[in-house]
């Protein structure tokens, strides 16, 4: 039985964002219908959830396999895809089940419009990230992706900069970068395309993390948004522990009778946070 008597609560605002809920719902419906489904790339940046869906028949494929695939249905995940993926699907007679997040699609359209107007586009985001590759594709690969201000400043910058952001970046950092560029005399056309479901979590999480002795942050290691939100928790409550699954919990972190808050990324499934809660309650 429990010796530590921890009082444990899951953050009600944590867990999947609507884009991910929608993609997983679509995948589950199709798996029920046909028993298997191809998905281009990890459906969500969470290994535990991917394994759960793979056990139900989800087959994760990459671009090499997509090239060889014919006459099948393929799920496009919430992160979105570049135009080249849609072109390949037409060539190979693939049916695309498009679960691209509406926030990402809107951003893709805005970037394409800027590109058609021949603006010089800079995207604040993570190199190689699925969403960013979809955004770059709108500009035939010509936009410049940067991860921080010093990387941006290492480029030859035009006087007029059109600034965009990956949807899961921090709003504070985005506006800091904009301000810094303006101070240096650049004309900045800033398009804040950060998803409010993600950026509002920032404030919600600070409030949540401040209420507990310890925080357990549950996220896959591949989640960009997980890294950002973990940092937010850590800044608010230094007693924050990052885990990807229940096995990584360490009873040594806790003292008897402490309060523990559990939270996670927009890619962390609720069932996983519930598993962590069960484990903590029995410590």
- Distance separating the N- and C-terminal Cα atoms of the chain: 8
Residues annotated as catalytic (active site), given as ranges: 131
Average of per-residue pLDDT across 205-234: 94
Report the percent of the chain where pLDDT is more than 90. 91
Question: Between vectors from CA 233 to CA 229 and to CA 236, what angle results, nearest 5°?
Answer: 140
Q: Does domain 103-194 have CATH number 3.40.1010.20?
A: yes
Give the model's pLDDT for residue 249. 97
What does the pLDDT read at residue 61? 97
Calpha distance 76→86 (Å, rounded): 10
pLDDT range class, residue 197, cuts 50, 70, 90? confident
List own/partner pairs for 94-98 with CB under 8 A and 24 or more apart: 94/66, 94/69, 94/70, 97/26, 97/30, 97/37, 97/73
Q: Mean of the pLDDT values across residues 93-110?
A: 96
Provide mean pLDDT across the span 89-98: 96
- b/e string for 236-261 if b means 16 or more Cβ within 10 A? bbebbbbbbeeeebeeeebeeebebb
Measured distance CA(234)–CA(215) in Å, rounded: 9
Torsion angle of alpha carbons 146, 150, 155, 159, nearest 10°? 100
Q: pLDDT tens-digit profile of 4-44?
A: 999 999 999 999 999 999 999 999 999 999 999 999 999 99
Residue 2 has pLDDT above 70, yes or no: no
Write out the residue limits of the CATH 3.40.1010.20 domain(s) in the chain: 7-15+202-281, 103-194
In the predicted structure, residue 204 carries a pLDDT above the cut 80: yes
Output b/e per residue, 179-218; b: 16+ Cβ within 10 A: eebeeeeeebebbebbbebbbebbeebeebbeebebbbbb
Look at residue 182 and tell me whether its pLDDT is greater than 80: yes
Residue 10 parent element (H or E): strand 7-10
- Tell whether the model's pLDDT for residue 255 goes beyond 90: yes
Compute the mean pLDDT over every residue in the chain, rounded to the nearest whole number.
95
Strands (E), 11-129: 37-40, 58-61, 73-76, 95-98, 121-124
- pLDDT for the residue 199: 84
Q: Distance between CA 74 and CA 183 in Å, rounded? A: 47
CATH of domain 18-101: 3.40.50.11270
Query: For residues 161 and 157, what is the distance between their CA atoms, to the nearest angstrom?
Result: 8
Tell which phi-psi region holds residue 71, choosing left (phi > 0), alpha (psi between -120 and 50) or beta.
Answer: left
Class of domain 7-15+202-281: alpha beta
Residues of the chain with CATH 3.40.50.11270: 18-101
Give 1's pLDDT tier (boundaries 50, 70, 90). low
Please write the tens of the pLDDT for every residue from 123-169. Answer: 999 999 999 999 999 999 999 999 999 999 999 999 999 999 999 88
């Amino acid at each position: 039985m429990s010796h530590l008597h921890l009082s444990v609560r899951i953050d009600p605002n944590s867990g999947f964002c609507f884009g991910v809920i929608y993609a997983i719902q679509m995948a589950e419906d199709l798996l029920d219908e046909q028993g298997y489904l191809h998905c281009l790339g990890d459906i969500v940046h969470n290994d535990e959830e991917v394994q759960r869906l793979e056990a139900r028949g989800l087959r994760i494929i990459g671009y090499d396999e997509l090239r060889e695939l014919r006459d099948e249905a393929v799920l496009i995940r919430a992160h979105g895809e570049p135009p080249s993926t849609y072109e390949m699907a037409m060539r190979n007679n693939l049916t695309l089940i498009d679960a691209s997040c509406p926030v990402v699609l809107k951003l893709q359209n805005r970037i394409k419009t800027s590109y058609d107007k021949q603006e010089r586009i800079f995207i604040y985001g993570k190199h190689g990230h699925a969403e960013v590759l979809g955004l770059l594709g709108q500009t035939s690969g010509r936009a410049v992706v940067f991860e921080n201000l010093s990387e941006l400043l290492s480029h030859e910058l035009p006087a007029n900069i059109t600034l965009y952001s990956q949807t899961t970046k921090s709003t504070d950092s985005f506006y800091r970068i904009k301000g810094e560029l303006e101070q240096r005399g650049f004309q900045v056309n800033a398009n804040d395309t950060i998803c409010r479901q993600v950026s509002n979590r920032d404030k919600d999480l600070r409030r949540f993390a401040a209420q507990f002795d310890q925080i357990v942050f549950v996220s896959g290691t591949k989640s960009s948004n997980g890294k950002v939100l973990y940092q937010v928790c850590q800044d608010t409550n230094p007693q924050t522990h990052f885990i990807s699954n229940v096995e990584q919990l360490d009873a040594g972190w806790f003292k008897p009778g402490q309060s523990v808050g559990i939270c996670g990324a927009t890619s962390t499934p609720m069932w996983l946070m519930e598993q962590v809660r069960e484990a903590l309650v029995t410590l």
